[in-house]
């Protein structure tokens, strides 16, 4: 049996976070943890997840919370082998380019197809691990 791969889901939208969890929970290879803030995710990075799904806007609860780009940079500074899938509710080519230049593995716009696309990208990453 293959070992489980740690996956962190980071989103300040509880509905979308639940949707992602429900979409991925059946995958026997994943050990899923979830966080409502980037700071909570950073506090647990010592568990060394292989994959992080990270929303860009993370300030729903705390207006001063760091955004996903700041969290992405901190994750990859300390854990450069982590694969980060960035999410955003806004379709922006310049933001996508910025995230990819900062080391994101993928950039996905939050829409009705996002959960399935995230699952496909995670499965693609799992094949390479």
- The confidence score (pLDDT) of residue 39 equals 95
CATH 3.40.640.10 fits 5-128, yes or no: no
- The confidence score (pLDDT) of residue 79 equals 97
Please tell me the pTM assigned to this model.
0.93
Angle at 54 (CA atoms; ends 113, 102), nearest 5 degrees: 110
Residue 3 has pLDDT above 90, yes or no: no
CA atoms of 15 and 19, how far apart (whole Å): 6
> Of 34, 56, 41, which is closest to residue 104 (Cα–Cα)?
56
Please report which helix (H) or strand (E) contains residue 74, including its range. Answer: helix 68-78
What's the whole-number mean pLDDT along residues 57-84? Answer: 92
What's the whole-number mean pLDDT along residues 67-79? Answer: 96
Angle at 50 (CA atoms; ends 31, 2), nearest 5 degrees: 55
Domain extents in the chain: 5-128
Q: Convert the pLDDT of each residue in 90-120 to its tens digit.
A: 777 777 788 888 899 999 998 889 999 999 9
- The confidence score (pLDDT) of residue 11 equals 95
Contact criterion met (CB below 8 Å) for 66 and 20: no
């Amino acid at each position: 049996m293959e070992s489980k791969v740690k996956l962190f889901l980071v989103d300040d939208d509880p509905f979308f976070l639940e949707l992602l969890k429900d979409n991925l929970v059946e995958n026997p290879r994943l050990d899923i943890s979830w966080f409502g803030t980037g700071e909570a995710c950073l506090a647990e990075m010592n568990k060394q997840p292989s994959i992080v799904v990270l929303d860009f806007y993370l300030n729903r609860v705390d207006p001063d919370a760091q955004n996903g780009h700041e969290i992405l940079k901190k994750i990859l500074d300390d854990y450069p082998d982590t694969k980060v899938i960035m999410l955003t509710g806004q379709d922006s080519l310049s933001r996508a380019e910025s995230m990819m230049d900062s080391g994101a593995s993928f950039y996905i716009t939050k829409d009705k197809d996002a959960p399935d696309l995230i699952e496909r990208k995670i499965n693609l990453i799992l094949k390479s691990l």
